Amino acid sequence: MATLTVSSTSYLRPYRNVRTRRWKVDTSQTIRVGDILVLSADANEGDRVKKAGADPSTDRAIVGIAAQAITTTATFAATDVITVWSATGDAEFLVHCEDAAAIDADDLGVEYGTVLDATNNIWRLDRTETTAKVFRVLELYDAHGDVNGRLVVHIIAPERLYHD
């Protein structure tokens, strides 16, 4: 068992079978690489994405993970677009578990939520969140028992829930 060091470069990232897509970005957004993105809920702006709230749940709004950073102003500009690693049914991502927690072989196949690590500004798998589920664990990337260990996950995307 080891304790892995985590920093701002330890963001949620693509692992296997990930496709990209360009999306328009909602107004007044500061998005970092690795942020979870959802569809905008603003009137007539459902074709734009924004950073997910602090405790996102799985629903039709999750589109994927920011592959680049962007900051937008209060007025939409045609250049406010971002590349997103899409949360498709076959996409796999690499994510660290929540701060000071150890990964466990019993996590395989289990669904968990996510938490924003405010110190490092990265999203992590939250093993204590079993209601607002976002990730399904596919495999351990690091060794069983590693603190701040990495896991290979699916994002429980809309097509996995609704088959559309």
- 4-61 pLDDT, tens digit each: 999 999 999 999 999 999 999 999 999 999 999 998 877 677 789 999 987 776 666 7
State the pLDDT at residue 158.
Answer: 57
Q: What is the pLDDT of residues 122-137, one digit of tens each?
A: 999 999 988 888 999 9
Task: State the Rg of the chain over Cα.
Answer: 15
Could you say which DSSP state residue 59 is in?
S
Q: Can you tell me the distance from the alpha carbon of 74 to that of 53, in angstroms, rounded to the nearest whole number?
A: 18
Q: Amino acid letter at 4?
A: L
Q: pTM of the prediction?
A: 0.90
Which uninterrupted H or E stretch holds 14?
A: strand 13-16
- Residue 107 phi, psi dihedral angles, 5° rounding: -75, -20
